[in-house]
Amino acid sequence: MNVDSVLDVGYRLAALAGVTLVALLTSAVVEELRRPRDLPPYPGGRRPLPFIGHRLLLPSVKSWITFRKWNEESPIVAFWNGSTPTILIGNGQIAVDLMEKRSQKYSSRPRFVVAGDLLTENRTILFAPYGEQWRGYRRALHLATMNKSVDSYKPIFEAEGKSLAVNLLNDPDDFYQLIYRYTASSVVAVAYGRRVKDTNTDVAYKRLQANLEFLIRINVPGAQWHETIPALKYLPASLNPIKCLALQFRQQGRANAAALVEEVRRKMALGIAPHSFARQMLEQRDKFPYLEDFEFNGTMGSLFGAGVDTTSATLHSLIMAMAVHPEAQRKVHEEMERVVGDARSPGWEDEEDLPYLRAVIIESMRWRPVAILGGTAHASTEDDVYEYGGKSYFIPKGSIILAPLWSIHMDPTVYGNPDAFIPERFLDGRAYPGAAQHNHSSFGWGRRVCPGAYFAERSLYLTSARLLWGFKFIATELIDTSMETGYTDGFNCRPRPFRCRIEPRNDEVRQTILREGAEAAEYLAPFEVSLDEPVKV
């Protein structure tokens, strides 16, 4: 190749680079001009960068800490992740105003490339956009979560809770894992009529848990570049590790759900299937013709995703709170002595007479919320204008609406001294402005409120009541209660394992726990029956 040819190639490449640069700059200018000018304020007043927006401001871990700082500057903030605006809400009243009072505009879901498009194909109640498909999923789940159905599972909750109490007597140092096993077993017993006796050997449980942990890790703002640049999902799986994982977990999750439902079907044919959600669904399969088999099977699995991690993490935080706040624990014990006594454990019928216990539970959920980011984000389906603080803010159609509980529950204008654990704040019957229900917002808002809220409340009350009736929780070393260092990261967060001494309140309580535990074991025996030919998962 001669010199002229080399120069010609060089000129062509330079011209191509120049045209590309001009095209990119033009695109960036057009993108900037299209951004609405009357959005809520940007974090720190920083304007978005071309193409990626504020992506570089989003931390890779514990984004809710950064979000709280932004919300301390303004209770409503806008930031861009790529070409999509996110409206960040740090005040409960704003969350209620938008997602409840204007729920017809704010009940859909944004696009989730990894968790939605790849992992679930958006064919679950969590990720389906608002519409007939989503309503169909909710109708199916309603079979398990309506009050009458939840009440029918009361014996399971009670028996599993009594079994947990015996386990804590026998091995109090392993309380962290015992509580997780208890919540997993309770939910799996309700969902499929089978127990989880050992989280290390139960294959079906381990696969349910692996899928849940993957979802918790990826469903976080700023965690995946795929959410900033959706076109990345089209890269082949061989060059796209997160896509490869998502597709593997999709296949594994659906196979596992199908095997669990098939196990229930076979037990029904043998007449040995205990009462469960899966049994109810199979008995009424003809009522859900719109559900394909994998959607039908996944409905039961959604109980695991919604109930296990959240309930166990709340119980861990409750125990932590009692260990580091002995005065609050003393008041609960005094109330238990007065209302319940030592010869029996508390039941549902005692709840109205245990106001301090209820206040402790609510304060635990406010003080250390599990769904730290406020649950899965909502999306707006219409342009809207919201007035706050004497200003009008434009919220464009397609915006992501995110309301982190770490901002809302720590709002000092609503909860005085918010970082302190003060159950008494919920004893005077005061209604806190903007709290969606029960003076906290842990179950979400509007039409996307957690459909299993009653399920979760009943389970959490029964277990909390039994634990605080039966045991003393005593800090033996400094416990790190900080959300920054003492809690995990992810879509949900929980306390990192910590140590405390656990002992029965007195000897009569110990004897009651043992007696009730023996009765519970007899009730739970049918949930432990294995088939001669185990279902392969």
Residues at the binding site for heme are 450
Residues 6 or more apart in contact with residue 473 via CB below 8 angstroms: 319, 322, 323, 329, 500, 501, 502
Q: pTM to 2 decimals?
A: 0.88
CA-based torsion, 230, 236, 240, 245: positive or negative: positive
| CA gap 177, 367 in Å, rounded | 22
Domain assignment of residue 209, given as a range: 60-528
Residues 6 or more apart in contact with residue 477 via CB below 8 angstroms: 499
Residue 474 in domain: yes
| pLDDT for res 225 | 86
Residue 266 in domain: yes
166-to-170, 343, 380 alpha-carbon distances in Å: 6, 15, 49
| pLDDT for res 146 | 87
CA-based torsion, 258, 261, 265, 271: positive or negative: positive
| CA gap 439, 432 in Å, rounded | 6
Q: How far is CA 455 from the centre of its chain?
A: 14
HSE, CB side, 13 Å, CA atoms: give it for residue 515.
Answer: 10
| pLDDT for res 453 | 85
| pLDDT for res 328 | 98
Instruction: Look up residue 390 and give its two tokens.
Output: 């004497």
Residues at the binding site are 450
Residue 113: strand, helix, or coil = helix
Residue 7 in domain: no
Residue 14 in domain: no
CB 261 within 8 A of CB 278: yes
136-to-106, 115, 181, 297, 304 alpha-carbon distances in Å: 19, 20, 31, 14, 19
| pLDDT for res 227 | 86
Residue 81: strand, helix, or coil = strand
Residues 6 or more apart in contact with residue 55 via CB below 8 angstroms: 49, 80, 81, 82, 222, 225, 228
| CA gap 436, 430 in Å, rounded | 13
Residues 6 or more apart in contact with residue 210 via CB below 8 angstroms: 249, 252
Residue 176 in domain: yes
Instruction: Look up residue 57 and give its two tokens.
Output: 């401001």
| pLDDT for res 173 | 96
Residue 406 in domain: yes
| CA gap 192, 423 in Å, rounded | 36
> How many domains is the chain partitioned into structurally?
1
Instruction: Specify the DSSP class assigned to residue 108.
Output: B
Residue 417 in domain: yes
Mean pLDDT by 10 residues, the chain (537 residues): 52 48 42 70 93 90 94 96 93 94 95 92 93 93 88 93 97 96 94 92 90 86 83 92 94 94 96 95 95 94 86 96 98 97 95 96 95 93 95 96 95 93 90 63 87 87 96 96 94 93 97 97 92 53
| CA gap 184, 172 in Å, rounded | 18
Residue 425 in domain: yes
| CA gap 354, 365 in Å, rounded | 17
| CA gap 355, 373 in Å, rounded | 28
CB 221 within 8 A of CB 401: no
Task: Kindly report the CATH number assigned to the domain that includes residue 363.
Answer: 1.10.630.10
